[in-house]
């Protein structure tokens, strides 16, 4: 990964394309996934069908590692019409390879491929019920529960059965699903996870993706977001839509704080512009007298520009980021984690003798933040004021973000002053929830990791116990 | 593969071990699979459990390619109690990797692993029925039908459910199945495919394997064959047995003709000794005046020794076999297949100026045989008399052997005299069915590929059609 | 590479360490090379000696690709005292692997390892002469000429022979050389290529590196630059120095324009600060009325900040850079090069409806610049004013920089107005040579690629002819 | 390797081809090397030239591992005229990869490639002398001394200089050497190592190879052996010959005992036929009353057939050899070596209750022999009589064979009776030197490893000391 080790991690990015006239969909899906690589670096995969053949390839690794020329060729179909793809950041486990997506299965509706981003909070409950009814589960992947629900309704067609499954499952999710002839996309009733629709001018091909950048990568324009609770499908007649279930929209605020690429617009809100507004808001909420505003690259850049603009304090590059630092790095000793930060970031002359306002998007464990503050001091910064463009993270995410276990979340167990002391900053301030809401704008936001209010429910605890017993 | 390209191919070898006191079962399974490598070269895999964790690794490649040290470590469990393994020769397909075995799945009986050798002739029928009932199939593997049948009976325990599934499926098969705490083995009612039981002296661990050589490889002794239609299982109390269904035993004759290692004894008949008897029988049935008896290495060695003994004509090494010829070999032009034979076999001085009796185990397409006869003539053999220790192969096998499509079987469409002319031999003779029966001995044999009499049934033709539509 | 395809490319980075008490020098060299990765991405290598054993490993790939744990272990020596390392960007050739450095050879002075950055302009001449005297050359590498010169003087010790070789060879270079017991570093008489000396506080180990960042990476402090024409060596007694030949210092200006990391200080001039000064100078020389200043990331960041500061026009992030874009990327069609830019850079909302000042460090062929201007216009920029923090590149570099062949240098064959039209900018301006000199400061600069004045000479043309005949 | 771990190992095989009309020489060299794979399994390489370009590729691994399609393509030249290749078994060392052959170098005679089999006994002496004269050595490879000697004579042409180098170096060797336009082959004055000349009927292309099998592999016929002390070269005018130095021919006896493929004829003596004669001789020299004659496969097959013929005792296959046993095999514990034998060889039913005459080609350390005897006893053999078709090996080889260090040679330090007791045989006998001479026939033989009489000299001991100091 090129992300710093101590950031929340998106679990997935999804992509789908339905092409009227045949197209090299393996190649277009490759481009789309490449543009979504920031959403998951541990596995990548795709399915391609021409209405008859149905090819699938997936493996651990970056898109460019999984799909070398030989392997991309192996999924290519000259008359391809439908394709979906997936990039995954996966939590640890011994069977990582088997959990790579898209998940494919043969059902009474023919062969299906599913790629999903997010989590179903009642997946274990449903899974347990289906196991007792004689179902098999090849993986520990939530997606398989969705596919079993779809397959079970042998009297319904694929769209109906998918709508039925959406009603049975709760949580925050955005999925793409394909049969040999259809592309389907759907988003949870709260719209926690993002999904956008695009179309190519040159041939009218329809595209679904977690972020608009993947649309642009394949020459498509952004048409609109899939609505919360909406099910869309594409076939020879074009785009169809069904609102399965509609609730108060609460898209994930972290998409704007950190996850989404700065060239993305989601649910009508531009990521880069909102980050600048967060920085401006932060400058209004927590001003401080200093000489320069320095971002933690690359996550703090937008907010740092905003902070600098609002405060009038010059923006500068105080930290060089080694572009090769994301590569697998051998670290034989205990000092490994500390070394990783040091090999990735190093202070420039800009901070020497300066009072520095250091801007980042979030603090999770605080360990990396402490090292960065330390690097700046060693390089001669006389003061370091830490400003964070998200509120303190105190609660785990159940909708597809890997924040860290609750006890590792430094803000869950420590006051802001305690965190400040730990990271060694002269001052520390987080944007307020209200300030964040204003900076993002829009009608509603999921702020569960800050305030513990989970709009789409939480898992039953005894599901976790069952998991321990069963899997 | 180190086999010549034109031989019947066993589709699989299976191995299982249940250990009272904990053992390094990953390592023992590795040794067992290594000894069974001749039964399948395209994929290898194993599952290991300690009663709690359940590790699985499988991939395309030879046992030693799939399991390098890192990967063997990844399935190792310090307190392992149960393990199964599989080597596979697989027919072509785009999803080869996903079809590697053991197949694992999560069911209401906990996680299960299944490895099988052979085929269920009514698998598609049963599969179609289950699809309509809402079942999912992750693979196109027959094994998954067996697992679905087992999972469906949620009211039965694992052994009962397995016995039920055996009754529902027909064909020629031998399987090993494991849960976290049990090892199960079963063999079809006709005993078409082999399965033997062994036990280690040093710790009493129970072992199942396709051939005894895998028992010896892990330090176990041969106890007995699993009986046709028998289901055996192993747990802390030891070996249990249930005869699920018993029919006239008809083990596959090709195990003795070619597949089984020459150090194997199956159903009480020693492979090497039976091959020598086949050669002796052949010499009695089809004597010829000649100077030397030359085996096609390695498949014709046993029968050539027998032929030489019975005829009194000296045995000699007329063909050198390049031990590296099994490796992947680039062949850029049309001449590829021909080159492969030439790079693998070359005549020694023994054949120069001699009348040669060339002995092989079988003729499938005849193309390789033609090239070998040609090589001998080029090297100065004055006559080449071809003797084959199996009857002409005229019918496909539906019980797990890849012979080739019927139309490719040269003896299916040509008389013996026509085949002789094609391969360019001075004379050609195949052992008689009766002669083969006598050479093998024992009570019954499956000779379906020679005479078209299928003891365990054949697939319904329209199943093949369904497959074309569905998968 | 993570560099855009159309930038000048440094050919190498070098590193060396001499440790009094034994140290894990393989690991320290790995860290040092990792910090120098931006200076060469095609090959990496190192030698390590403990006074007795002499290990070497090198291969094509990034430092982290060449040195996985197994391979780093294979060069590790528990009592290591001397080590050198190299990262290489190499021009094309069939024997790339054999040209990786350090180059090692056995001579009458024992085994030697040499890693060099830069070029000897009379290497071919000297090589030809030595060939006629019976010398062998294993590679086409300039370094081997240096080693042959050193070996030839069998009556001199290693330091004397190296000084002699420096006198015989001309050009711009910085080298590290090691025997089993000594570390040597030397820099050409004009100091064209950089080389710095550092020392670790904790154990007094001496370090040589192309840039200070590699010193910091191993816990060393910057002591001083190696002087132009200086030869330094390290043994148990510490640092020794000899000025072999001293000329007017003319360090390469491109180190400050682009190559050096922004946290580097070379010959007393800080890279980041000088880039800001270049931007300020550019704003003074070529002001324009606009809404935002946008850098081409990452090469234009420093100058863009300077331009924004001096002009008062807001700095903003108008181009998102995909951090995974450096990975090997399959591009099956003619559109490949264009796609690479598009998959790497995409405009953010910041440029929409804005008059943009786009700042980059240089223009080589102009193709990438054209695409970036085009991307901005498509994203809604109303005007694009291109500002470049280097003068137009008109001449090839003979001192170790791969600019491109002269005919490919767009400014060599086109006027600024023609280039402006080609790249489609509303205006285009390059910093003046005088302005660049002032921004960098210091006593002298090599500006050969701008003005064709080569301080350290040029190759004889007929050497090129000989090369064509001989190699 | 597929050889048992305890056999003498040939260090190399060489191949060369000169083609009048252009040919796909990379492919032909690949085929030739593949046929010579048994002579070296640790590295493979080739050079190809079309008179202008000169491509080289080499690496650790089998021919089929080093040359996948991509890599074979990378040396392919459409108008290739000359090519040489090499397979290597290499003694241990840290720089194995750099020591792979062919060795290439640039000299005053243009670029040269050299591949050699054997050793120069005075290489270190000559090397030391050249080092003092200022020469460089990139490798520790003997070949480089040869190349330096050739390069040094800048006033001579390539053939003259090579002849001069042959006179300066002593030992047992066979080499192929190429420039852009010539193919050269030469063999030491005693003809210790083999080299044969062939020609293709279809286009008259000339071929050189260590054994005739490589000629046949590329469609060439055996023309004749290169004579001891002969230098042959090929150019547009065809084959040229020069006898540089002629001594009493003493080709290596181990070529017939074990190394050469059984389809090879060297210096007029057929390998397979001579092995049968060795077995017959052994039966005459050391008869014993027994039930069957069993070869250790594959090395003992020829002699076992001969023994069986002469004695009238039936030949049988008492040991099954696992064809996959040559693959890299993980063995995590101390029992590794023992396991390797067990996983490779297993007794068949043929030995049960029998008095067995076990025939092998040689005994080196005796460890493997002991295990085989043990395997046979466990399988029920009532007596095991060991017969060896070579005399006891008591002395190291200095001409390119890796026998093992002298102290590891069991026959060097133990009497035959002691060895018999160690390996647990009922009787043990080795063929006599005289018997071996008669079985091979021909004018002379190198028997140095049996009797310590080294026809081509031995290394000076203090050269070994110098090596320790210098390399």
The model's pLDDT over A39-57, given as tens digits with 9 standing for 90+, comes to 988 899 999 999 999 999 9
Q: How close does chain B come to D41, measured CA to CA in Å?
A: 10
Matching residue, tokens 């033609």: B370
User: Catalytic residue at A12?
Assistant: yes
Categorize the per-residue pLDDT at B371 as very low, low, confident or very high, splitting at 50, 70 and 90.
very high
pLDDT over threshold 50, residue B463:
no
pLDDT at C471: 38
Residues D117, D304: Cα–Cα separation, whole Å: 29
pLDDT in tens, D320-352: 999 887 655 565 555 666 788 888 999 999 999
CA-based nearest residue in chain A for residue C213: A346
Mapped onto helix, strand or coil, the DSSP state of residue D30 is helix
| Radius of gyration of the CA atoms of chain B, in A | 23
Task: Report the alpha-carbon angle D67-D24-D102, nearest 5.
Answer: 50
Residues A41, A9: Cα–Cα separation, whole Å: 10
Categorize the per-residue pLDDT at D10 as very low, low, confident or very high, splitting at 50, 70 and 90.
low
Q: Are D382 and D354 in contact (CB under 8 A)?
A: yes
* Chain A residue numbers touching C320 (CB-CB < 8 A): 213, 261-263, 272
Would the annotation count A412 as a binding residue? no
Which site among A130, A134, A142, A146 would you substitute to test the B interface, given the most B Cβ atoms closer than 10 Å to its Cβ? A134
Categorize the per-residue pLDDT at B93 as very low, low, confident or very high, splitting at 50, 70 and 90.
very low
Categorize the per-residue pLDDT at C336 as very low, low, confident or very high, splitting at 50, 70 and 90.
low
Contact D263 B348 (CB under 8 A): yes
pLDDT in tens, A134-191: 888 887 778 889 999 999 888 899 999 999 999 999 999 999 999 999 999 999 999 9
Closest CA to B166 of B190, B146, B136: B146
pLDDT in tens, B298-308: 899 999 999 99
Choose between D405 and D451: higher pLDDT. D451
Contact A62 C332 (CB under 8 A): no
Could you list the active site residues of B? 12
| Radius of gyration of the CA atoms of chain A, in A | 23
Residues C302, C313: Cα–Cα separation, whole Å: 15
Residues A369, A388: Cα–Cα separation, whole Å: 11
CB count within 10 Å of CB B374 equals 16
Is the CB of residue A55 less than 8 Å away from at least one CB of chain B? yes
Would the annotation count C299 as a binding residue? yes
Q: Are B356 and B292 in contact (CB under 8 A)?
A: yes
Categorize the per-residue pLDDT at C6 as very low, low, confident or very high, splitting at 50, 70 and 90.
low
Q: Residues of D annotated as binding site for Mg(2+)? A: 299, 360-361
Residues D81, D19: Cα–Cα separation, whole Å: 5
Residues D86, D195: Cα–Cα separation, whole Å: 13
pLDDT over threshold 60, residue D3:
no
pLDDT at B142: 80
Percent of residues, chain C, with pLDDT higher than 90: 75
For chain D, what percentages of helix, strand and coil (3-state, to nearest 5) are there?
Answer: 35, 25, 40
Contact A34 C65 (CB under 8 A): no
Question: What is the number of CB-based contacts under 8 A between chain A and chain C?
Answer: 138
Judged by 3 or more CB pairs under 8 A, whether C touches D is yes
Which site among B26, B134, B151, B177 would you substitute to test the A interface, given the most A Cβ atoms closer than 10 Å to its Cβ? B134
Categorize the per-residue pLDDT at C404 as very low, low, confident or very high, splitting at 50, 70 and 90.
low
pLDDT at C402: 74
Length of chain B: 471
The mean of the pLDDT values for chain D is 90
Contact A64 C326 (CB under 8 A): no
Q: Are A377 and A383 in contact (CB under 8 A)?
A: no
Paired tokens of B396: 């496909």
pLDDT at D92: 40
pLDDT over threshold 90, residue A341:
no
pLDDT in tens, B315-362: 999 999 998 876 555 655 556 667 888 889 999 999 999 999 999 999
Spell out a b/e string for D167-192, using b for 16 or more CB atoms within 10 Å of the CB, else e: eebbbbbbbbbbbbbbbbbbbbbbbb
pLDDT at A465: 43
Judged by 3 or more CB pairs under 8 A, whether B touches C is no
* Backbone dihedral region for residue A108 (phi beyond 0: left; psi -120 to 50: alpha; all else: beta): alpha
The answer to whether the predicted template modeling score (pTM) of the entire model surpasses 0.90 is: no
Which site among D319, D320, D341 would you substitute to test the B interface, given the most B Cβ atoms closer than 10 Å to its Cβ? D320
The mean of the pLDDT values for chain A is 90
Categorize the per-residue pLDDT at C465 as very low, low, confident or very high, splitting at 50, 70 and 90.
very low
Closest CA to C350 of A263, A293, A296, A253: A263
Q: How close does chain D come to B218, measured CA to CA in Å?
A: 10
Contact D323 B320 (CB under 8 A): no
Could you list the active site residues of C? 12
Matching residue, tokens 């402090």: C221
* Chain B residue numbers touching D298 (CB-CB < 8 A): 323
Domains along chain A with CATH numbers: 9-250 (3.60.20.10), 272-451 (3.40.50.2020)
Contact C95 D151 (CB under 8 A): no
CA-based nearest residue in chain A for residue B130: A108
pLDDT in tens, A282-322: 999 999 999 999 999 989 999 999 999 999 999 999 999 99
Closest CA to B148 of B172, B171, B124: B124
Q: How close does chain D come to B8, measured CA to CA in Å?
A: 17
Q: How close does chain A come to B127, measured CA to CA in Å?
A: 10
Q: Are C214 and C145 in contact (CB under 8 A)?
A: no
* Chain D residue numbers touching C131 (CB-CB < 8 A): 106-108, 151, 154
Residues A5, D267: Cα–Cα separation, whole Å: 68
Categorize the per-residue pLDDT at C93 as very low, low, confident or very high, splitting at 50, 70 and 90.
very low
For chain B, what percentages of helix, strand and coil (3-state, to nearest 5) are there?
Answer: 35, 25, 40
Q: How close does chain C come to A210, measured CA to CA in Å?
A: 16
Residue D252 gets which letter from DSSP? B
Percent of residues, chain A, with pLDDT higher than 70: 90
Q: How close does chain B come to D270, measured CA to CA in Å?
A: 7
Residues near A435 by beta carbon (within 8 Å), at least 6 away in sequence: A278, A281, A282, A284, A285
For chain A, what percentages of helix, strand and coil (3-state, to nearest 5) are there?
Answer: 35, 25, 40
Q: How close does chain D come to C127, measured CA to CA in Å?
A: 10
Paired tokens of B344: 């693998």
Asked which of B57-71, C175-189, D170-184 is least confident by mean pLDDT, the reply is: B57-71
pLDDT at A175: 97
pLDDT at A20: 83
Is the CB of residue B87 less than 8 Å away from at least one CB of chain D? no
Name the burial class of residue D157, with classes exposed (0-12), middle (13-18) and buried (19+) by CB atoms within 10 angstroms of its CB.
exposed
Residues C40, C21: Cα–Cα separation, whole Å: 30
D43-49 and D220-225: which strand pairing?
unpaired
Is the CB of residue C71 less than 8 Å away from at least one CB of chain A? no
Categorize the per-residue pLDDT at B465 as very low, low, confident or very high, splitting at 50, 70 and 90.
very low
Residues B220, B201: Cα–Cα separation, whole Å: 7
Mapped onto helix, strand or coil, the DSSP state of residue D311 is helix
Global ipTM? 0.90
pLDDT over threshold 50, residue C92:
no
Length of chain C: 471
* Chain C residue numbers touching A35 (CB-CB < 8 A): 322, 343
pLDDT over threshold 60, residue A3:
no
Categorize the per-residue pLDDT at A403 as very low, low, confident or very high, splitting at 50, 70 and 90.
low
Q: Which of B55, B138, B148 sits opposite A105 (nearest CB)?
A: B138
pLDDT at B5: 46
pLDDT at A87: 95
Is the CB of residue B259 less than 8 Å away from at least one CB of chain D? no
CA dihedral of residues D435, D438, D443, D444 (deg, nearest 10):
-20
Residues C20, B124: Cα–Cα separation, whole Å: 74
pLDDT in tens, A345-394: 999 999 999 999 999 999 998 989 999 999 999 999 999 999 999 999 99
* Chain C residue numbers touching D140 (CB-CB < 8 A): 106
Q: Are D163 and D231 in contact (CB under 8 A)?
A: yes
Choose between B405 and B421: higher pLDDT. B421
CB count within 10 Å of CB C340 equals 18
pLDDT at C249: 94
**D92-95 CB contacts, 8 Å cutoff, 24+ apart:** D93/D140, D94/C53, D94/C55, D94/C74, D95/C56, D95/D139, D95/D140
Categorize the per-residue pLDDT at A7 as very low, low, confident or very high, splitting at 50, 70 and 90.
low
Categorize the per-residue pLDDT at D4 as very low, low, confident or very high, splitting at 50, 70 and 90.
very low
pLDDT over threshold 60, residue C283:
yes
pLDDT over threshold 50, residue A331:
yes
Q: Give B 316-375 residues with CB within 8 A of chain D.
A: 316-317, 320, 322-324, 326-330, 332, 339, 342-343, 346-350
pLDDT in tens, B414-441: 999 999 999 999 999 999 999 999 999 9
Contact B343 D35 (CB under 8 A): yes
pLDDT over threshold 70, residue B291:
yes
Contact D107 C138 (CB under 8 A): no
pLDDT over threshold 80, residue D295:
yes
Neighbours of chain D (3+ CB pairs under 8 A): B, C
Could you list the active site residues of D? 12
Residues near B187 by beta carbon (within 8 Å), at least 6 away in sequence: B173, B174, B175, B193, B194, B195, B226, B227, B228, B229, B230
Paired tokens of B419: 């085949």
Contact C470 D110 (CB under 8 A): yes
Choose between C148 and C7: higher pLDDT. C148
Would the annotation count A47 as a binding residue? no
Categorize the per-residue pLDDT at A97 as very low, low, confident or very high, splitting at 50, 70 and 90.
low
Residues near A243 by beta carbon (within 8 Å), at least 6 away in sequence: A227, A229, A230, A231
Paired tokens of C223: 């002591």
- No. of helices (H) and no. of strands (E), chain C: 18, 23
Stated as kind and residue range, the H or E segment containing A196 is: strand A196-200
pLDDT at A1: 29
pLDDT at B133: 87
Contact A339 C31 (CB under 8 A): yes
Choose between C10 and A102: higher pLDDT. A102
Residues near B353 by beta carbon (within 8 Å), at least 6 away in sequence: B380, B381, B382
pLDDT over threshold 90, residue D305:
yes
Categorize the per-residue pLDDT at B143 as very low, low, confident or very high, splitting at 50, 70 and 90.
confident
Mean pLDDT of B440-451: 90
Stated as kind and residue range, the H or E segment containing B110 is: strand B110-120
The mean of the pLDDT values for chain C is 90
Is the CB of residue A151 less than 8 Å away from at least one CB of chain B? yes
Task: Report the alpha-carbon angle A442-A445-A450, nearest 5.
Answer: 140
């Amino acid at each position: 990964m090129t992300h710093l080790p101590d950031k929340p991690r998106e679990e997935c990015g999804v992509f789908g394309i339905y092409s009227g006239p045949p197209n090299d969909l393996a190649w277009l899906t490759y481009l789309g996934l490449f543009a979504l690589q920031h959403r998951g670096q541990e596995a990548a995969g795709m399915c391609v069908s021409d209405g008859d053949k149905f090819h699938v390839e997936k493996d651990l690794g970056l898109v460019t590692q999984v799909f070398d020329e030989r392997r991309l060729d192996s999924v290519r179909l000259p008359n391809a019409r439908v394709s979906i793809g997936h990039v995954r950041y996966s939590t640890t486990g011994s069977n990582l390879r088997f959990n790579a997506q898209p998940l494919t299965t043969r059902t009474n509706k023919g062969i299906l491929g599913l790629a999903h981003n997010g989590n179903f909070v009642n997946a274990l409950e449903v899974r347990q019920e289906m196991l007792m009814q004689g179902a098999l589960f090849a993986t520990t992947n939530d997606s398989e529960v969705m596919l079993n629900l779809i397959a079970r309704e042998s009297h319904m067609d694929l769209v109906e059965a998918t709508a039925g499954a959406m009603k049975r499952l709760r949580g925050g999710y955005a999925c793409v699903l394909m049969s040999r002839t259809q592309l389907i996309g759907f988003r949870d009733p709260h719209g926690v996870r993002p999904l956008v629709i695009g179309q190519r001018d040159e041939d009218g091909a329809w595209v679904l993706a977690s972020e608009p950048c993947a649309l642009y990568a394949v020459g498509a324009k952004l048409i609109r977001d899939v609505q919360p609770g909406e099910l869309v499908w594409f076939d020879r007649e074009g785009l169809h839509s069904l609102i399965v279930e509609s609730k108060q929209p609460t898209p994930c605020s972290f998409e704007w704080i950190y996850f989404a690429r700065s060239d993305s617009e989601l649910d009508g809100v531009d990521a880069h512009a909102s980050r600048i507004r967060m920085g401006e808001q932060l400058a209004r909420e927590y001003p401080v007298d200093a000489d320069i505003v320095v971002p933690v690259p690359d996550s703090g850049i937008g907010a740092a520009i905003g902070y600098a603009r609002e405060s009038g304090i010059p923006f500068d590059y105080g930290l060089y980021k080694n572009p090769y630092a994301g590569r697998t790095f051998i670290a034989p000793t205990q000092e490994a984690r500390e070394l990783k930060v040091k090999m990735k970031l190093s202070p420039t002359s800009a901070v020497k003798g300066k009072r520095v306002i250091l801007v980042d998007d979030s603090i999770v464990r605080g360990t990396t933040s402490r090292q960065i503050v330390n690097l700046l001091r060693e390089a001669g910064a006389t003061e370091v004021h830490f400003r964070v463009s998200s509120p303190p993270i105190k609660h785990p995410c159940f909708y597809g973000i890997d924040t860290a276990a609750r006890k590792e979340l430094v803000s869950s167990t420590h006051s802001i002053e305690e965190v400040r002391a730990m990271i060694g900053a002269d001052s520390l301030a987080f944007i307020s929830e209200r300030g964040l809401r204003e900076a993002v704008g829009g009608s509603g936001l999921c702020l569960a990791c800050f305030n513990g209010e989970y709009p789409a429910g939480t898992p039953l605890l005894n599901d976790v116990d069952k998991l321990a017993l069963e899997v």
